[in-house]
């Protein structure tokens, strides 16, 4: 795992494709990594993906695929032909689902990274116990990370608070870390969060930041500030 330098991914959690296009104009490649989630994908589809990739961005399509192995692998097939930098699937789908997704990607000759979702940053405390009664979140996280590495995934997506627990485990995997806030007190709909510098210091390969950049009057300046924070701890 090349984890020497932490990079910044901008989460384009915007309501419309036109809003995403306007934002990309304002971002002006301040960072080459951008993420599109289910809403923008549903509204913009392949045309928006193609346009973003053709602008030169490294596009992270965060669909969190989770189904039986054949269904997920069949979805990966057309997606890995779209020039994506990365795609997410759920590690909780199991080894075969992950391994067949990797095999499909390799069969198509794609360089697309496949990242495994471990535990959502919104799940913690009572919410975790509600859907996983009797299961320890830490042990589940470790097991999913190890399973992802064995299946051949390129990285995992985890909370910044999980980085210390995963230190030394699944060392071949990149760590993609959402739940980044400008201050620790700001959580919004995520419960397990940290600042950019805290995540970078804990071993994040990539941090994912949305609202602080999307809502900034000058997104380029905000990107620079975050990258400066990261550089101070590396």
Active-site option among 4, 5, 35, 64: 64
pLDDT in tens, the chain (234 residues): 444 699 999 999 999 999 999 999 999 999 999 999 999 999 999 999 999 999 999 999 999 999 999 999 999 999 999 999 999 999 999 999 999 999 999 999 999 999 999 988 777 667 767 777 767 778 889 999 999 999 999 999 999 989 998 999 999 999 999 989 876 545 455 556 789 999 999 999 999 999 999 999 999 999 999 999 999 988
pTM, two decimals, is 0.92
d(CA 87, CA 35): 10
Q: Does the active-site annotation cover 64? A: yes
Convert the pLDDT of each residue in 132-162 to its tens digit.
Answer: 776 777 888 999 999 999 999 999 999 998 9
Q: Which spans in 36-191 are helix H?
A: 38-54, 69-79, 95-107, 126-131, 137-151, 163-166
d(CA 33, CA 9): 5
Q: Are 223 and 30 in contact (CB under 8 A)?
A: yes
Q: Are 201 and 233 in contact (CB under 8 A)?
A: yes
Q: Are 222 and 229 in contact (CB under 8 A)?
A: no
**What was the pLDDT predicted at 1?**
47
DSSP line for 166-226: HTTSSTTSEEEE--B-SSTT--TT-SS-B-HHHHHHHT-SEEEE-HHHHT-SSHHHHHHHH
CATH code matching the domain that covers 7-231, chosen among 3.20.20.70, 3.10.690.10, 3.30.70.3270, 3.20.20.120: 3.20.20.70
């Amino acid at each position: 795992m090349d984890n020497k330098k932490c990079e910044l991914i901008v989460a384009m959690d915007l309501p419309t494709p036109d809003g995403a296009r306007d934002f990309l104009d304002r971002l002006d490649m301040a960072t080459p990594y951008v993420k599109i989630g289910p809403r923008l994908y549903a509204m913009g589809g392949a045309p928006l993906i193609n346009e973003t990739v053709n602008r030169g961005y490294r596009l992270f399509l965060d669909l969190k695929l989770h189904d039986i192995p054949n269904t997920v692998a069949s979805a990966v097939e057309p997606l890995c032909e779209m020039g994506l930098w990365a795609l997410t699937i759920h590690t909780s789908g199991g080894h075969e689902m992950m391994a067949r997704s990797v095999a499909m990607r390799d069969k198509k000759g794609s360089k697309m990274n496949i990242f495994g979702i471990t535990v959502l940053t919104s799940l913690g405390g009572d919410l975790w116990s509600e859907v996983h009664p009797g299961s320890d979140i830490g042990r589940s996280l470790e097991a999913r990370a190890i399973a992802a590495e064995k299946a051949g995934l390129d990285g995992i997506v985890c909370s910044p608070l999980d980085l210390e627990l995963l230190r030394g485990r699944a060392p071949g995997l990149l760590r993609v870390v959402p739940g980044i806030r400008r201050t620790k007190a700001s959580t919004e709909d995520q419960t397990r969060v940290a600042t950019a510098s805290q995540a970078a210091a804990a071993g994040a390969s990539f941090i994912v930041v949305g609202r602080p950049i999307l809502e900034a009057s000058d997104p380029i300046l905000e990107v620079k500030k975050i990258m400066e924070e990261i550089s101070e701890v590396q």
